[in-house]
Amino acid sequence: MRAVLELEPSDPQDWNRLGIVNKELGELVQAQACFDRALELAPGSLGALCNAASARRDLGSIEDSIALLRRARTLAPDDLDVLSAYLFTLNLSPHAGREEVFREHLECERLLGALAQGRPRMGADRQGRSPLRIGYLSPDLRYHAVAQFVEPLLRHHDREQFEIFCYYLHPRHDAVSQYLRQLSEHWVDCAGWPDEEIATRIQSDDIDILVDLAGHTDWGRIPVLARKPAPVLATWLGYLNTTGLRAVDYRITDRHTDPPGLTERFHTETLVRLPESQWCRREYETSIAVSPLPAASPAAPRFGSFNKSSKLTREALALWAGILRRTPGSSLLLAAVEESRRDGIRGIFSAHGIEPARLAFAGRLPLEQFLELHHGVDIALDPYPYSGATTTFDSLWMGVPVLTFAGAAPISRSTASILSTLGMEDWIARSAEEYVQLAADHAARTGALAALRSGLRRRLEGSSLMNGAAFTSQLEDLYRQMWRASAPAIR
């Protein structure tokens, strides 16, 4: 491809293709440069705009990404893929108000709301029937974070009361998707199908409750939901916000992620809450032991971040720089950060008065090696505003407590839900100032940190967060409640 560019350096499509290759290789900075060059050569190219925005989002430049996607929306106001990318990215901005974010989500109703009209009525014979047919619609039933939380359900569902269908939306298969397929009674590969064909298949399968696990994330199929292919539609797990569609009846959450009264007005769906947490992870398949606390004294705490690069926004890095300033002698490990991005991160910390020597980096690693990185960390720092979930479980499993800043939006409260379920409310900050203060306070208590570290794995294992059978039973109770509440509407 580089040889082609030497011959045709002014072809924007070649630059765009080279950017895609670099992105797939994890070379995000180079990918952004290629997309930017394509955009210079073709300022009106929708593809170049969206790719340049995606690269900036993956590099944590959220506001720049939003600006590019707004340009793309102007070019293609009725393009749902552009709208979904815009909505997803808007969630990541600490500057976007909840009213604004909700209002933008309502564009989905404008574009797709008419699709639900005229759908065949479902009939009253479903009321009280057993087993209920549950459909899961997702592109992420593969090597993906979502699969770690779906696996306990597929393994523990009561097959006498529920019949399970999985509608898989991704074109690639791997060992995880093959395993989940074995756990499913019915598995439908429908990645290449038109939206109407998927909706018709769901309807013909006589699904009672369809649970979407993707929302406005990559490979999601919002238009399928807009067609109302089942009497009850719900969203859960993969997208922590409203779909913006009135055809979707419920969003499954918990009282920690969505405290009653806080976020209802920003949803077209009714919020239904699990009694503990909406998170339950599959069991770990590793024998790596929890290490002793690495901090020799309160004078040199070791902080760490284990989240993907896109969550390392300027706002998150500025908060962490404040923690390093507040704790002289401390250091910060940033894991899963591409080599090409590290100089930029060092520059951000330098601008906040933190010398680069206090930062350490690690790239993407196999799971075992990734977990071993926790041996050198006293406290994990949850990013803001895009909170962790999978990485939070990983840190807690390795005995490393996670400090989080719980904002007003659900996307900022995943770790708060997990910590609250474990009785660790003293690790949840409610403001940026408290986040920095709590980091310094906890880091100074090495005795308490060591005691917490030694028992954290047992606490996690003994909770509902890793009890698949108990969690599935709670979710099944919620499905029954949703079905009973919706029964009058489907007669």
Question: Residue 312's closest CA among 68, 59, 89, 30?
Answer: 59
CA diameter of the chain: 69
Residue 264: what pLDDT? 97
CATH 1.25.40.10 correct for 2-100: yes
pLDDT interval class at 4 (50, 70, 90): very low
Check if 2-100 and 302-463 are the same fold. Answer: no
Question: Residue 383's closest CA among 34, 110, 62?
Answer: 62
Question: Residue 303's closest CA among 294, 314, 313, 316?
Answer: 294
Q: Is the pLDDT of residue 125 over 90?
A: no
Classify the C-alpha dihedral 430-432-433-436 as positive or negative. Answer: positive
pLDDT interval class at 11 (50, 70, 90): confident
pLDDT interval class at 7 (50, 70, 90): very low
CB-CB contact of 374 with 395 (8 Å): yes
* Residue range 384-412: mean pLDDT, rounded: 97
CB-CB contact of 405 with 432 (8 Å): yes
CATH 3.40.50.2000 correct for 302-463: yes
pLDDT interval class at 27 (50, 70, 90): confident
Higher pLDDT, 481 or 310: 481
**pLDDT per residue as tens digits for the range 176-224:** 999 999 999 999 999 999 999 999 999 999 999 999 999 999 999 999 9
Query: Rounded to the nearest 5°, which phi and psi values hold at 187?
Result: -130, 125
* Residue range 46-74: mean pLDDT, rounded: 95
Helices (H), 59-166: 62-75, 80-91, 98-105, 107-112, 145-156
Q: What is the DSSP letter of 263?
A: S
Burial 393-408 (b: 16+ CB within 10 A, else e): bbbbbbbbbbbbbbbe
Domain positions in the chain are 2-100, 119-280+468-490, 302-463
Residues in the chain: 491
Number of CB atoms found within 10 A of residue 218's CB = 14
pLDDT interval class at 449 (50, 70, 90): very high
CATH 3.40.50.11380 correct for 119-280+468-490: yes
